[in-house]
């Protein structure tokens, strides 16, 4: 047991008494009531459970929450799928997915929202050549499993979004 505190979607949560082996996805789902983060394979393969983490240096990474205890997120700044839209407005990545009919059942969507957003943030720091965008999308989203869509529209949505934001690419 540890007194667990962290920041989720910009709000401080805790302190909570949480056993070390309670999965983060269960902490989010059952204790915070944030069920947008999905449990699917439970072994870190499918990445439906991915959340975004802001590192102390301000960089954005993603983490799987089914194979990591909630206490391993102690004092982290976590963003879940519920934390992207503000004032009723979808984030750019969310909007790109919705406008492109990217998902169908939607169960993998929160992982794709977080991975896609992390990719955009990473490209903002290190823009890629325009002709490397498809490869960047593959690198950023390629480990995520979707059973409905064949990935086509998720990838196209991200490619088009990246190409439409001049700060994310450079002339190749």
Taking CB under 8 A as the criterion, which residues in 71-110 touch other proteins? Answer: 71-72, 80-85, 87-90, 94, 97-99, 101, 103-110
Which CB atom, from 107 or from 165, has the smaller least distance to other proteins? 107
**What torsion, rounded to 10 degrees, do the Cα atoms 123, 149, 110, 42 define?**
-110
Number of residues that bind other proteins (CB under 8 A): 83
Q: 3 has which bridge partners?
A: 17
151 near other proteins, rule: CB under 8 A: yes
Binding to other proteins (CB under 8 A): which residues in 49-68? 61, 64, 66-68
Question: Residue 152 corresponds to which tokens in the numbers above?
Answer: 């086509």
**What torsion, rounded to 10 degrees, do the Cα atoms 83, 11, 35, 52 define?**
50
Which CB atom, from 101 or from 170, has the smaller least distance to other proteins? 101
For residue 159, what are the contacts with CB-CB under 8 A and spacing of at least 6? 133, 134, 137
Using the contact rule CB under 8 A, the part of the chain among 25-33, 117-125, 161-169 near other proteins is 25-33
Between the alpha carbon of residue 117 and those of residues 71, 113, 161, the distances in Å are: 24, 6, 11
146 near other proteins, rule: CB under 8 A: yes
Binding to other proteins (CB under 8 A): which residues in 2-21? 2, 8-9, 11-13, 16-21
Distance CA 19, CA 63 (A): 19
Site string for other proteins, 118-137 (x = CB under 8 A): ----------------x---
Angle at 19 between CA 14 and CA 24, to 5 degrees: 65
143 near other proteins, rule: CB under 8 A: yes
69 near other proteins, rule: CB under 8 A: yes
């Amino acid at each position: 047991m540890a007194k667990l505190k962290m920041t989720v979607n910009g709000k401080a949560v805790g302190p909570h008494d949480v056993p070390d082996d309670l999965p983060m996805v269960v902490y989010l789902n059952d204790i915070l009531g944030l069920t947008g983060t999905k449990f699917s394979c439970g072994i870190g393969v499918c990445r439906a459970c991915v959340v975004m983490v802001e590192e102390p240096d301000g960089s954005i990474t993603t983490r799987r929450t089914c194979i990591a205890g909630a206490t391993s997120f102690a004092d982290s700044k976590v963003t879940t799928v519920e934390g992207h839209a503000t004032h009723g407005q979808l984030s750019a990545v969310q909007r790109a997915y919705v406008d492109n009919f990217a998902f169908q059942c939607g169960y993998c969507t929160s992982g794709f929202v977080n991975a896609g957003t992390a990719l955009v943030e990473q490209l903002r720091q290190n823009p890629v050549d325009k002709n490397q965008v498809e490869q960047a999308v593959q690198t950023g989203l390629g480990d995520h499993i979707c059973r409905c869509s064949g990935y086509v529209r998720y990838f196209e949505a991200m490619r088009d979004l990246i190409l439409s934001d001049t700060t994310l690419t450079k002339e190749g």
